[in-house]
Amino acid sequence: MNRIFRKYHRQIAIATSLPLILTVITGVVYTILFEWFQEEEISRFLMGIHTMKIIHLDKIYPVLNGLGLIGLLVTGLSMTGLFNKRRSSDNPNN
């Protein structure tokens, strides 16, 4: 079972890495430029990239990012073994 989750985790990570990196970088640079340097024009352009409004994906892009992160969390947490049933030490068959 761990092997299956590892396979899916790797596939999801590959598919979501570029959009998530783009979201993080544009979010940080937007904050720095808008809040610290009051660069409104460049900030507006960065927000368009951040939300993918420039290519008209602003309605679906956050949902895809969120679903990708949920998939990474579920597969990652399942691989840790935190949710496996623990065998009792009273049973001699273990």
pLDDT at 91: 61
User: Which residue type sits at 7?
Assistant: K
The segments of the chain whose pLDDT lies below 50 read none
**Using the 8-state DSSP alphabet, how is residue 39 labeled?**
-
For residue 88, being part of any structural domain is answered with no
For residue 22, being part of any structural domain is answered with yes
For residue 91, being part of any structural domain is answered with no
Residue with tokens 């985790």, as numbered in its chain = 9
**Residue 32 belongs to domain spanning:** 2-78
For residue 93, being part of any structural domain is answered with no
For residue 87, being part of any structural domain is answered with no
* Nearest by Cα to 65 from 22, 27, 30: 22
For residue 56, being part of any structural domain is answered with yes
For residue 17, being part of any structural domain is answered with yes
For residue 73, being part of any structural domain is answered with yes
pLDDT at 84: 78
The mean predicted confidence, pLDDT, of the chain is 90
What whole-number distance in Å separates Cα of residue 34 and Cα of residue 56? 23
Structural domains in the chain (count)? 1
